[in-house]
Amino acid sequence: MKRKFKLASILVALLLALSFGNTALAAGGNGGGGGGGNGSGGGNGGGSDEPLTVVSSTPADGETSASVSDPIKLEFSKNVVNAEVKDGNMAAIVLYKNGAPVAAEVTMADDQVEPDLRNFITITPSSPLEPGTEYQVKIAGTLTAKSGAALGEEKTLSFKTAGTAPTAASEEKTTAENTAAEKPASNNTTLYILLGVAAVVIIAIVVVVFVKKKK
């Protein structure tokens, strides 16, 4: 009987020890919660201390066979389309040919809707560019990023379109053809006026003769 009691006591002690060990393990746990999240926001907005620069352009600076119909695209190192700087930046970019401004529309994405396009500005000429002709995109130093960083100095990007530039002779020929095409129209107008005047005179004479006969 004493023997059985001893065995029972030993078993109870073992059970208590195991129970205590499990409780300690549960309380100690593995504290490695893995807080190594990668905080990459996916986009290059540019830190506030970084300078504003022109990253690239399409066509590239110095290109000699640019498309005459594709828009011109500029990429910057920071957000240049935010509502706070958008209007000023649109006025800071001008397309030139032979020193004269070329009609073009400067457009930007909404950085709240399309954040991936916040560093890009597009220039779309109002009409196709002339073949074989040199153009310049001038970016004023006042161009500013959302962070407040400014370009600082004017940047000029030059490119030449593909094809052969129209010669002076071909331009004169085109002008002469246009003038010749306009002449028949003006001659016809003069003829119609003369016929109208003649008709009025004839009608007036007929009326006068008719009135005299009645008298």
pLDDT, tens only, 192-215: 788 887 787 788 776 666 667 766
Pick from 92, 78, 208: nearest CA to 146: 78
pLDDT at residue 77 greater than cutoff 50: yes
pLDDT grade for 148, boundaries at 50, 70 and 90 = very high
- DSSP string of 186-205? HHHHHHHHHHHHHHHHHHHH
Count of domains observed in the chain: 1
Measured CA angle at 37 (ends 35, 39), to 5 deg:
140
CATH number (domain holding residue 81): 2.60.40.1220
**Cβ atoms within 10 Å of 110's Cβ, excluding its own:** 13
98 in any annotated domain: yes
Q: Considering the domain boundaries, does residue 10 fall inside one?
A: no
Residue 41 lies in a domain: no
Q: What is the mean predicted confidence (pLDDT) over 171-191?
A: 64
Q: What's the length of the chain? A: 215
pLDDT at residue 107 is higher than 70: yes
DSSP-derived letter for residue 114 is -
Q: How many CB atoms lie within 10 A of CB 191?
A: 10
- Judge whether 29 lies within some domain: no
Residue 18 lies in a domain: no
Spatial contact of 70 and 118, defined as CB atoms under 8 Å apart: no
Q: How far, in Å, CA of 18 to CA of 24, rounded? A: 10
pLDDT over 60 (residue 20): no
Is 147 among the domain residues? Answer: yes
- Report yes or no on 130 lying in a domain: yes
Domain hosting 113: range is 54-160
Is 112 domain-assigned?
yes
Asked whether 75 and 54 are in contact (CB, 8 A), the reply is yes
Who wins on pLDDT, 185 or 144? Answer: 144
Other residues' Cβ atoms within 10 Å of the Cβ of residue 150: 16
Query: If you write DSSP's letter for every residue of 27-92 in order, what string do you get?
Result: HH-------------SS----TTSPP-EEEEESPTT-SSB-SSSPEEEEESS---STTTHHHHHHT
